[in-house]
Structures are given as structure tokens and as C-alpha cells.
Structure 1
Amino acid sequence: MFDLGGIYNSQNHYIWTTSRDEADEHGGIKMRQKFPQKVVIWLGVCSKGVTPLVILDQGTVDHVEYIEKVLPIALKYGKDAFGKHWIFQQDGAKLHIHHLTQKWCRDKFPSFIDKDHWPPDSPDLNPLDYCIWDEFAQHVNWEKVTSKPTLIDE
């Protein structure tokens, strides 16, 4: 999720210092809007490359929007890249484990790792959470980002 103030993931961003002053010098305090405009970006990654970006500009995504806008992109890319023999995996996000999402995946993908077989807290299986999103954020010219349309363009 990106917003007008940048990208921030409280699970991945930490500053270790000996004092509050030192933390502030290294960006420890960030002023944020109470209700910032947000854009959710989805991207699939595999050994053959990356899927097209899916930009969900409403800021939050439920299982219905995920099934309608994201999963068909993943399915098409998987078929084009691998044919009939491949496995789709996703993490334990609520919209991923929703029973209708699980049913859609079970019915459409040649194979997928369901919510009961996904290993918890597995950074090795989530490269996007740990490096690629940071790369994206570093290539955004945040001075150009003044509105949701400019955020999407950038």
C-alpha cells in the first residue's frame, strides 16, 4: 500500500537507536495524515518474470475486488508463462484466506497452496514484502506526489 506520504509497513520498518533524539535524526518520527489517500498495488512474481501491475486505487481491497481484478491477472500470467503445470501461492492476508477466494483458487488454478498449508511468517516465500516494494518506493519521486493521480502516475 502506498499513500501520499510514502510507503510504510510497520512490520518491516524499524529504527534501532539509543534515544528518541537519535531516532528522530534518522527519520524515526514521521508525520502522517490521519486519513491519507491510498493506492494498493498488486504484483505477482515467479521464476519467469513478473505479472503486470494491478493498481487498486480505492485504498483498501476486499475479497470481491481481489477475486475480480487480481486473480484473473495471476491466472492468465500463470497459464501464459507455464502452461498447465504450475502452483499459485499467496500469503495469509484476510482477503487471500476468505472462503470465496479459496474456492476461486481451488476451481481455477491448476494447483495452489491453500490457507491450511501456507507456512506462517515465511519471509523466504514473500520476496515482495522484504525487498521489491522497497525498491519501488525508492524509485518514486515523492516530490512529484501531491495527489492520488500523481501517485499512480509516479
Structure 2
Amino acid sequence: MSERINRRFTITELHKAGHRPCEIFNLLKHRGFKRSTVYGVIKRYSKAPSLADKKRSGGPRTARTKSMVKALRDRIRRNPRRQQKKLAIQLNVSPSTIKMALKSDLGVRAMRRGVCHMLTTKQKKNRVIRCRGLLKRHAGESYKNILFTDEKIFTVEEKFNRQNDRIYAKRKSDIPIAQRKSNRSHHLGSVMVWLGVSLVGKADLYFVPQGVKVREKNYLDEVLEPIVKPIGSTLFKNRDWTFQQDSAPAHGAKVVQRWLHDNVPGFISSQQWPSASPDLNPLDYGIWSKLEIMACSKSHTSVESLKQSLLKAWGDYPIESVRAAIDGWPSRLRSCVKAKGGNFEP
């Protein structure tokens, strides 16, 4: 008796015993039975009480044969990065045959490739050592008192996702060109934004003058003194907290590290934070992209318009999303250690 007949027999026997279809599915789903299979067999059995296959019409397969499916499987195993049109040409079948074979015979689906940070062997070792240090230092719930900070440049252009942005119409000509195209310019107006977030709350959004990120004196005068220093009383209400920043040149300068030692209760030094690690900063992996979508859903006519949109978007940004990103930070440190400092899936 074939596997297909065995499955039908199991379903019909349970049905004869008085079990309802939903009960049969719950009993068999751990064995790989699909809900549609259970309901389909019962419906078919009620019309014709036979377990045998129905008589099929048409001739034998000529394109989606076993040998073709095997050749397709071997190609996918050697290199999963494939194009269906090229596979169809290589195997001398139609693109629709390839599509059906991938879905029905091989049970695979197309997945979007992502991008990740390029890491050297030295950087990977550095990430492991520093992630372990951060896990040890911020064990338990002490990470909840960290102020995570970062800077990002926003432009007046619309945030455009080439793969997912779609427009719907019967004909392309029905849609105005302004809606069909996303404008791009060689001379962009832009602004640098500084943000700080913690589980306690969101710091105010600040627009940073150009050059601050690479010049320690500007960083001290424009960010640390006027923005970071008051946060201890405004956001943390004079409780103990820890300041975090990435490994940008201005951040690692001796004068900056000395200022932090003298002016904040605790901080993660440039020797403690993993370099080349945007996947470990909640702002990078969980906040910036969403904020950009909110603020730059359409292009702006001026930098001032962009600034007003960013301020409104940050004001509307839900604190629950901020806290969710920060709560995922310890598990990301552990995932980085498990991946031996390489790229990882959170």
C-alpha cells in the first residue's frame, strides 16, 4: 500500500469512528497531515467510498519528468542562487514548468537576498571578545539603563524600495508620471540627525551640524555638552545610567573619552564597544529604517521641510517599538558570540 493510500486509510478510519474533520486534523497534524488533505479525503470518501486513485485523463508527462526534476534539484543544491528563465533554457522546458516543479516537486520558494556588513577575521575576533564583555557587564536587567545613541544622514529624497514599492492600474498610462517615478537628484539637501534611546524613554531628536562626526571638538561642543549632559536629569531623573556610542573617530578621541569619564555615571568606551557592528545597535537594526519610512514617505522640497517631517515622525514614533528593539539587544550579543563574530540571523 502506497503512502498516499495509507494516509487516506488513516483519515477514513478515524472518520468512521465518529471523529469530526477538525478533530482528525488535530490528531494527525504532528505527522505532517495538512488540513486541506483531511477535509478533501473525507469529502471524497463521502461521495465514493474508495481509497484508490481516481482515473486520470491525458497522456504521460513529457516536460516535468522525474529526470528533469532530478536535474533541477541537483542544480539548486549546487547553487541555490538561480533565475527561473535561465533554468528553463538550460533544461529545455518552459518557465511555467520550472515554476511548477520548484513549487510542487521540490517544495522550495524564492527568497529575497539581503545585505550584511563585511567583516574581517580581526573584526570577528574583536566582536566575540567585546560581546562577551558587554554580556558580563550588563547581565540581568542592567542593560535597561543604557542610553543607545547614533547619528544618521537623511536626505530630501523619498525613501524608495525598488523591490516592494508597487502601483496598481489596468494600464501604465493610467498613472501620472509623477506617481510612477521616484525623483532622484545629484545634489541632495541633507541633514545629520542625532538620537538617543533607552527603555526609560526617547531623547529629543537633534540636528547636528556637518563635520561633528569626525571632529572631536565639534562633537564635544555640539553634542556632548548641550545634548548628552542634561539627559541625566531630564530622561533618567538623576539615576545611574550608561552612555553608549559607536566607534566613529570623534567618539574614540582621548578628549571625548576623558569628558565621558568626568561627566556621565557610566559609559561604554571605544575599547569596549564592538567596531563595525551596526547589527548590535538598536537604532541601526530597529529604528532608523522605520523612522525614515515615516519621515520620507514622499520627497521634500527643502531641508527645512525634511526637518519638520523628522521631528513629527519622531514625536509619533511608538515607545513600544523602541523598547522592543532594546529588549532584543542581549540576545543579539549572544547570537554574535555563537556566530563567532560573523553575521547572524537574529
2:200 corresponds to:
48
Query: What is aligned with 1:86?
Result: 241
Cα–Cα, structure 1 residues 33 and 70, in superposed 2: closer, same or farther, change >3 Å?
same
Report the Cα distance in structure 2 between the residues aligned to 1:32 and 1:130, rounded to whole angstroms: 25
Query: Does the aligned pair in 2 maintain the 1:87–1:111 contact within 8 Å?
Result: yes
Match of 1:147 in 2: 302
Unaligned runs of 5+ in 1: 9-14, 16-24
From the superposition, tell whether residues 124 and 79 of structure 1 become closer, same or farther in structure 2 (CA, over 3 Å).
farther
Shift of 1:108: 1.0
The answer to whether the 8 Å contact 1:45/1:51 transfers is: yes
Amino acid at match of 1:112: F
Q: 2:284 aligns with which of 123, 129, 147?
A: 129
2:229 to 59, 72, 75: 75
Give the percent of matched residue pairs that are identical in Structure 1 and Structure 2.
32
Distance in 2 between residues matched to 1:2 and 1:87, nearest whole Å: 27
Structure 2, unmatched stretches of 5+, are 1-152, 165-181, 310-346
Question: Residue 163 of structure 2 aligns to which amino acid in structure 1?
Answer: H
* Pair member with larger Rg: 2
CA change 1:124–1:144 in 2 (3 A) is closer
Select the residue among 190, 195, 204 that pairs with 1:38.
190
SS in 2 for 1:43: strand
Distance 1:143 1:123 in 2: 26
Label 1:60 to 1:34 Cα distance change in 2 as closer, same or farther (>3 A): farther
Q: Match of 1:114, as an amino acid?
A: S
1:120-140 deviations in Å (ceiling 9; x for gaps): 344564110112111111112
Deviation at 1:89, TM superposition (A): 1.3
Q: CA–CA distance in 1 between the matches of 2:184 and 2:266?
A: 41
Aligned to 1:100: 255
Q: Which amino acid aligns with 1:78?
A: G
Report the equivalent of 1:22: none
1:2-13 to structure 2, matched below 5 A, reads 2-6=154-158
**Corresponding position of 1:64:** 217
Secondary structure of 2:300's partner?
A: coil
Change (3 A) 1:123 1:2: closer
Which structure is higher in helix share? 2
Is the 1:6–1:137 contact (alpha carbons within 8 Å) kept by the matching residues of 2?
Answer: no
Give SS of 1:48's match: coil
Structure 1 residues 59 and 36, CA gap change in structure 2 (3 angstroms)? farther
CA distance in 1, matches of 2:301, 2:210: 16
Aligned mates of 2:302, 2:253 — CA distance in 1: 32
Q: CA offsets per residue over residues 55-79 of structure 1, 9 Å max, x none?
A: 12x4442333321222232221133
Residue correspondences, number: 136
Whole-angstrom CA distance in 2 between matches of 1:6 and 1:103: 40
Query: Shift in Å at residue 26 of structure 1?
Result: 2.2
In 2 relative to 1, CA 146–59 (structure 1 residues): closer, same or farther, beyond 3 Å? farther
- Scaled by the length of structure 1, the TM-score of the pair is 0.72
SS at match of 1:115: coil
Q: Residue type matched to 1:71 in 2?
A: L
- 2:67 aligned partner: none
Q: Distance in 2 between matches of 1:55 and 1:91?
A: 18
Q: For the residues of structure 2 that align with 1:5 and 1:100, how far apart are their CA atoms?
A: 36
- Partner residue, 1:12: none
Q: CA deviation at 1:100?
A: 2.2
